[in-house]
Amino acid sequence: MSFIEQNTAYETWMRTACAVVEDDLERKHDRMSKNSFKFLRATFFRWAHTVRATAPEIMTLPAPLAVGDAHVENFGTWRDAEARLVWGIKDHDDAAEIPYASDILRLAVSTRLAGFSIGNSDAAQAIFQGYGEGLNDPGPTLLDQEEMWMRDYVAVTDEQRKSFWDEIDGYPAAHPSEDAKSALLASLPEGAALERFAGASKGGGSLGRPRYVATALWRGGRIAREAKALLSSGWDWAAGSPDRPSRFDDAVNLATAAPDPFLRTDRGFIVRRIAADTRKVERDTNFDRKLDAKLLRAMGSEIGSLHASTSHLKHTILNDLKGKDATWLQATAKAAAASVEADFAEWKALQRLKPDRPNDGIEFPALRA
């Protein structure tokens, strides 16, 4: 099946699974046209095809509970129940039982497509080494205690704190569904005074799903909560099991993690506390300079730690890993990246044939020839 056909099928299914925000879906289409990295982020449902086409041997490997949509921007910070600053995987929307090598392969592909200054060989070596370490010695990454070096990578400036609230206040007013409204209100602390509900247009692969924000006043300051529609993993959809229950709650509450106490599913939505210091660390000029082998090694370790939670497969995975090395990961990532680039070219060619559409006042950069 071509990418265009599979994308159409996935979006048709999405409309049966949630109240798709069509304007956001158009914005997603536009983002997918910008570059192959943004395209990768937006199309996890296609990943199983990519793996099967470029590295079919992966499909028979042990399949622990996995991230699914692993990529270099799917990491960030939160506070655990002890208010400790934790760094790790931020988006578990596509968690599922997936052959273990898929996650580290996708992370390596994302680093390659994003065009960071770190070389592909060094990136593969760091990811592969970190993954083995995380499998062997799983546990959370605590920035107040054991991994204080990482604070420089995730520090939040005063400007970013102001920008966070400016963005929230710029969201348009919205009327959430009763389920979304109930989930948001239930997530607020007792005594919080609701300010308003707003609609948020964010994300890569999740653009098009209903996403709402509630702001409130509580004990002298403002707080915010977000609710995003929960769907089945794109991996399960691609496998012909779109009704398989989400593994989101399982993935965020592992024994090897220090979970965010505000993050949960409720009434068909993923609900979380949002704040300037509880965020994904996404690509910007500053992050481009900071991404290095040490951080990629930590990303690989986080994936390994998650996989280690499927304890009955841990030793099987470690034994299989002995037959592979970073050279294998680099070569496989090169082939998979080429497949993603081909899908991206198919998509971009289609978008050029479409007439211009209104963009609701949002400025998008022009497509490059």
- CA 137 to each of CA 86, 99, 251: distance values in angstroms, whole numbers, following the listed order: 17, 20, 18
- For residue 340 the two structure tokens come to 């993603």
pLDDT at residue 363 in the model: 36
pLDDT in tens, 34-70: 999 999 999 999 999 999 999 999 999 999 999 999 9
Residue 304: closest CA among 148, 171, 128, 161: 128
At residue 193, does pLDDT exceed 80?
yes
- pLDDT (average), residues 77-86: 93
At residue 361, does pLDDT exceed 90?
no
pLDDT in tens, 83-117: 999 999 999 999 999 999 999 999 999 999 988 88
CB atoms within 10 A of CB 225: 21
- For residue 201 the two structure tokens come to 């247009």
At residue 265, does pLDDT exceed 90?
yes
Residue 198: closest CA among 169, 236, 232: 169
pLDDT at residue 283 in the model: 62
pLDDT at residue 359 in the model: 44
CB atoms within 10 A of CB 319: 10
pLDDT at residue 365 in the model: 32
pLDDT in tens, 207-241: 999 999 999 999 999 999 999 999 999 999 999 99
- pLDDT (average), residues 324-343: 98
- CA 297 to each of CA 43, 92, 258, 280, 301: distance values in angstroms, whole numbers, following the listed order: 25, 20, 19, 18, 6
- pLDDT grade for 360, boundaries at 50, 70 and 90: very low
Average pLDDT along the chain: 91
pLDDT in tens, 145-179: 878 888 877 888 899 899 999 999 999 999 999 99
pLDDT at residue 147 in the model: 83
- Is residue 263 within 8 Å of 302, Cβ to Cβ? no
pLDDT at residue 33 in the model: 95
- pLDDT grade for 356, boundaries at 50, 70 and 90: low
Give residue 67's Cα distance to chain centre.
Answer: 8
pLDDT at residue 290 in the model: 66
The SS3 assignment for 186 reads helix
At residue 79, does pLDDT exceed 60?
yes
Task: Note the residue count of the chain.
Answer: 369
pLDDT at residue 288 in the model: 55
- pLDDT grade for 358, boundaries at 50, 70 and 90: very low
Q: In what order do the strands lie in the sheet with 85-89?
A: 75-79, 85-89, 141-142
pLDDT at residue 367 in the model: 26
At residue 261, does pLDDT exceed 70?
yes
Q: Which of 117-121, 133-137, 263-267, 314-318 has the lowest mean pLDDT?
A: 117-121
- Is residue 252 within 8 Å of 92, Cβ to Cβ? yes
Residues whose CB is less than 8 angstroms from the CB of residue 26 and which lie 6 or more positions away in sequence, other chains included: 357, 359
What count of Cα atoms within 13 Å lies in the side-chain half-sphere of residue 307? 33
- CA 65 to each of CA 12, 79, 96, 251: distance values in angstroms, whole numbers, following the listed order: 27, 23, 5, 7
pLDDT at residue 342 in the model: 97
Give the containing element (helix H, strand E) for 344: helix 326-353
